A and B are shown apart, each in its own frame.
Chain A
Amino acid sequence: MNRITKLAILIAVFALVAAACGSDSDSGSDSGGDGFRVAIVAPSASNDLAFTQSMVDAVNSLKDSGVVSEVAITDGTFVPEDGATAIRDYASDGYDLVIAHGSQYGAFLPEIAPDFPDVSFAWGTAADTYGLPNVFSYEAASDQGGRVMGIMAAALSQSDVVGIVGPIEVGDAKLYVDGFKAGVLVGKPGADVPVNYIDSFSDVALASEAATSLIGAGADVLSGTAQMVVGAITVAKADGVLWFGTQANQTSLAPEIVVASQVYHWEGILEEIVSNVKGGTLGGELYSITFANGGLVIEYNDDYPLPDDVRELGDNAVKAFEDAG
């Protein structure tokens, strides 16, 4: 086999790889709005029924309503350095707003953002703009939904053991887990709420075993956050254990056992960010979605026969947050 053939085959292989990886990003260039272009860089798949999808859905709905004209997505960049490269590429392509949807990308923004003073960056979930004039940050008050669903979980649990599967104990995940646990304890002060952080955002097999372990410890209601929980949901489904979801509506994964999901609606704050950018303010503000500003919504699974009194507990808890503003 001569060198040229070898080289040709290597190139062919890498071309295939590049094709496979590259096609993750697609841009809809059909016009609309007044030419406002938004790019999203996110760690998991845009249809992950979780973190990434929540933002992709929000931006697409802004596109449908004509607020933005063009959306580009690079998803699955779970390696932060790859995400940083994509962020820089979009910025240099002249996108008006580049959304770095993942707290792990934050560390790169102080390096990237100053190089593109005319581009606005939005980074979440986080509560820090690094003092940069062209960086917004956004987060979800996911503890609110956690608390609401925790209260309902306590009411539904017969064993008084409610388990939670977490990824790594940071950011949005920690906020949600702490809120959920607090909610369960509000509902049933004597309940046992084991939390199993598997220390990975991506290990589906470990999440599955964590759920098994929690069920083994007596849990009859589970919740969990981050994209690897799909493994936990299938275990819950197989064992007939109830599930509360977050970040997106997870009903389709297991209609039999999903009670409700906390869903993020970033549209509201995104619209504000876009109008800020259009008005010349490229950053510096912190945003948070809450029940009060309509960014958090509890979506119930209509197929699950939720007792009315439990539903009422949930509604009351939501109302308490809305009233508190």
Chain B
Amino acid sequence: MPVIPWNWRRVTTVTVLMSLVFLDITASSGNRETTFDVVRRTAESVFIPLTVGGGVRSVDDFDRLLRAGADKVSLNTAAIADPALLTAAGKRFGAQCVVLSVDARRCPAGTSTPSGFEVTTHGGRKGTGIDALAWAVEGVERGAGEVLLNSMDADGTTSGFDTELIERVRALVSVPLIASGGAGAPEDFPVAVRAGADAVLAASVFHFGEMSIQDAKFALEGEGFPVRRHNVPHV
């Protein structure tokens, strides 16, 4: 499930993907209308699940994105600032479309949380002191139907997923868990799934052509994990 940056337009090739995630990481203010428009046009032409996140602050934003055709909306900073937003969104739209995105890292020296992991904001640059594991549990209790777990320690390293983090969150939550951060090689994917992830997410390794989505799928299949194959003729 690659994260697709906003400038991405080649919708013709996406049928081999299993799911699309749009994280508009620069859109904290930005032009919101453009966001809704891109979501709408994508939903009209791409018939796979579409998750949208970034800059979502209210139930109203949520509503507009779902109406534009998103299947799920992911909440990160806004949920930390206002956890009641998860509850309200879960109640109104159903847990299946509420994704809690958690940017977690090991507590830096001099700080601590009960689990040893803390929630960060601003792309991992700012610590919040909130226990990342307890936050994932609270988020699910409040109404999130899926947890997108981003390891800020592993992110960008291409040295593999943070399996300790995945295992510990898996032990605590019983909703689908998507692991993100650290993928560098096809064989990293089955490792994350074995650690307890229901799905794996990678971005830059696909964008820069270092590895194809097919490579990742073959690696998962080789270890006996079922993946979707693309062998249906075009309609």
The finding on whether chains A and B are genuine partners in a shared complex, rather than unrelated, reads no
Interface residues of A (CB under 8 A from B): none
